[in-house]
Amino acid sequence: MLCIAAFIVLLVLSAVSARYRRLLGKAASCTWRRVTLRPCDTTFRDDLKNSLLAPLAVRSPRLVRPASIAIEVLAWVMVLSMIVSLYIVGRSGLNLVVYGTCDKQNAQACTLSAEVCSVGDGTTPFWDSILAGNVIGAFGDEFASLGDTFSAIPSRLRTWEGAEFASASATYLEGYREGLPVAVEVIDPGCRFCAQLFRNVEESGLAQTHNVTYRVYPTASSWGDKFEHSALIARYLTAIQLHEREAALAGENTTDWLILEQIFGGKNASREDWQVWFNETATDEEAVAQLHTWLSDAGYDAAGIAQIDDLAASPEVADSLAAVRQSVEDDIRTVSIPTMILDGRLRTGVVSIDDLRAAR
């Protein structure tokens, strides 16, 4: 490993000074033979070691052997560190191209990715597994995750059709109109970046040129739902979609869109964003009561609200949300929310107003 480590160091030094280039040639020859599993046929390794140890041999001969071992260990550490670094850089770059984030397990931790809430890839982080003593599982999950990334490459090169991912009970911003392409947002009611995308879509006027719909996907973590009440809101939104499916073509927003408008853009009497209130303040009872209030404002009477309550707790809604989860995780294969299917492309993170207008 010493000649490989020396080659790395000399490669850097040769870029700034020609005096090291002769040694670089010897190091390269030795390194190539070592990489191809052949013994080094030059004395470069011994010459290098002797030049490093000669001053020590004069002053403290007894320390030559320990120092020789230390040099070998340092060389191994240096080479292994370089291999690991190259792997991490390569893996992160591949993830960035495929998923729009360099860290699949925590998309928000990648400073190069768009504004997103992380979905994760369902695996335990590498170092968490190592610290838990599951070394085999750590490497197994790592290589399985890398394999999933490679297998997702073809899907990123395809043409994405929004209509393929709109549910049978989908409702549309400002109503459905024949002949317009379909744009699909994958959103979590608790994600602040989903709120930003929602506002950008409205401000851009995308609904004038596209049939804009959404799939609601409450993100989860190892300890449960990532955002308090996202799953509750998702059940009610889905129940309203199923209940008002015949009204989806009526040319105006259905009740689920009115509720999304409040959650993503409204404030309560205390001037607190409704989304923040649901995430950080509301109890379960208060959250349900507020949803009831919005249903009442939309024209539902007590009997109608009771119907929505029953439907929200029904197997039909649970199956619908399970189908969305399967589609997001297995078909769309995103690790970031929001994700948007628009004009044949899969876009992760907040799409800017200018980009939305350009899609028109």
Query: What are the φ and ψ backbone dihedral angles of 34, each rounded to 5 degrees?
Result: -70, -40
CA distance 160 to 221: 28
CA 258/CA 183 separation, integer angstroms? 19
- For the chain, the distance separating the N- and C-terminal CA atoms, rounded to the nearest angstrom, is 58
Q: Which candidate, 323, 259, 314, 318, places its Cα nearest to that of 291?
A: 259
Q: Measuring CA to CA, how many Å separate 250 from each of 116, 244, 259, 321?
A: 33, 10, 17, 24
**What residues does each domain of the chain span?**
2-95, 99-156, 162-358
CA 271, CA 164: separation in Å to the nearest integer? 39
What does each of the 360 residues of the chain score in pLDDT, given as a tens digit?
A: 555 555 565 555 555 555 555 655 666 666 666 666 666 655 555 655 656 666 766 677 777 677 777 767 777 777 677 778 888 888 888 888 888 888 877 777 776 666 888 886 667 777 677 777 887 887 888 888 888 888 888 888 889 999 999 988 899 998 888 899 999 999 999 999 999 999 999 999 999 999 999 999 999 876 677 898 999 999 999 999 999 876 655 556 789 999 999 999 999 999 999 999 999 999 999 999 999 999 999 999 999 999 999 999 999 999 999 999 999 988 998 888 999 999 999 998 899 999 999 886
User: Is there a contact between 124 and 141 (Cβ–Cβ < 8 Å)?
Assistant: yes
Under CATH, what is the fold of the domain 162-358? Glutaredoxin (3.40.30)
pTM: 0.77
Q: What SS3 state is found at 183?
A: strand
Q: How far apart are CA 49 and CA 213, in angstroms?
A: 68
